[in-house]
């Protein structure tokens, strides 16, 4: 069942037979944010946070802040030019390879990320378009107010409800009931991790190891 922030607030108060003076909105909102952080960190890469961006390089510039193209970018997993995929190279390895040639420029081939900065190797000598894929950060949906909907699929809304109930019972000094709801929250997250962690159905089934995708020995043509 889908919940808005206000519906979650009302549900918790009705469940515990409390009013707003006993469990204020500000406190429930803190718990909702806490639940959001816990859910987002339960798994490093949730598929519903997948995102893509486009970056236009600048001739002679090798460093680019991730905030320049999206402040919500959390992780870059792949960068592709129109003709090839860039190869990730660790900063130490890249410096060892390129420090003697700091003035070198040309077609971008390697990249790495240090802090919040994307660095390209060699330095691009012309404007190019890079297609980036990765994961965005979870939104602070609570800040949008009473009508806000959690920044997760509907399957996760019940987990947030369970967490809020657990925290509310803890606030009411009922550790036994609080523990039951927190355990229910953890159990729900275990189910969701398995559900959303499965490989896509289009992936081939691989038995005994080996590559998932086998490349053809040669290109296929229409006359084959």
Pairwise CA distance, residues 160 & 39, whole Å: 9
Pairwise CA distance, residues 138 & 105, whole Å: 36
Joined tokens for residue 224: 């084959």
pTM of whole model > 0.85? Answer: no
Pairwise CA distance, residues 3 & 160, whole Å: 9
CB atoms within 10 A of CB 175: 11
The candidate with the shortest Cα–Cα distance to 15, out of 182, 187, 191, 181, is 181
Q: What residue segments make up the domains of the chain, in order of their start?
A: 5-46+139-197, 49-136
The candidate with the shortest Cα–Cα distance to 33, out of 187, 182, 150, is 150
Answer positive or negative: Cα dihedral of 71, 76, 78, 83: positive
Strands (E), the chain: 50-56, 63-65, 73-80, 87-88, 105-106, 110-114, 117-121, 123-124, 129-136
Dihedrals phi, psi of 80, to nearest 5 degrees: -130, 130
The candidate with the shortest Cα–Cα distance to 36, out of 178, 59, 28, is 28
CB 97 within 8 A of CB 89: yes
Residue 34 CB partners (closer than 8 Å, separation 6+): 163, 167
The candidate with the shortest Cα–Cα distance to 166, out of 190, 189, 186, is 186
Residue 70, strand partner residues: none
Q: How crowded is the C-beta side of 48, counted as CA atoms within 13 Å?
A: 16
Pairwise CA distance, residues 144 & 150, whole Å: 10
Structure confidence at residue 206 (pLDDT): 66
Structure confidence at residue 224 (pLDDT): 47
Q: What is the residue-level pLDDT of the chain in tens, covering all 224 positions?
A: 799 999 999 999 999 999 999 999 999 999 999 999 999 999 989 999 999 999 999 998 989 998 877 888 889 999 998 878 999 988 888 878 776 555 577 888 899 998 889 999 888 888 889 999 999 999 999 999 999 999 999 999 999 999 999 999 999 999 999 999 999 999 999 999 999 987 666 766 666 665 555 555 555 545 54
Q: How crowded is the C-beta side of 71, counted as CA atoms within 13 Å?
A: 1
């Amino acid at each position: 069942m889908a919940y808005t922030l206000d519906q979650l607030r009302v549900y918790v108060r009705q469940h515990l037979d409390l009013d707003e003076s006993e469990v204020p909105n500000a406190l429930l909102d803190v718990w909702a944010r806490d639940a959001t952080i816990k859910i987002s960190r339960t798994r490093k890469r949730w598929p519903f946070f997948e995102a893509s961006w486009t970056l236009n390089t600048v001739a002679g510039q090798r460093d680019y802040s991730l905030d320049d193209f999206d402040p919500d970018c959390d992780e870059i997993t792949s960068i592709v030019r129109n003709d090839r995929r860039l190869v990730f190279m660790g900063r130490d390895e890249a410096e060892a390879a390129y420090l003697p040639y700091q003035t070198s420029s040309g077609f971008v081939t390697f990249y790495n990320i240090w802090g919040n900065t994307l660095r390209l190797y060699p330095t691009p000598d012309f404007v190019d378009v890079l297609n980036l894929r990765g994961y965005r950060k979870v939104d602070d949906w609570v800040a949008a107010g009473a009508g806000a909907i959690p920044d997760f699929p509907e399957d996760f809304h019940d987990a947030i409800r369970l967490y809020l109930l657990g925290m509310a019972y803890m606030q009411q000094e009922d550790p036994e009931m609080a523990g039951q709801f927190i355990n229910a929250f953890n159990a729900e997250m275990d189910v969701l991790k398995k559900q959303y962690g499965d490989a896509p159905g289009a992936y081939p089934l691989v038995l005994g190891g080996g590559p998932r995708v086998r490349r053809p020995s040669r290109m296929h043509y229409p006359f084959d």
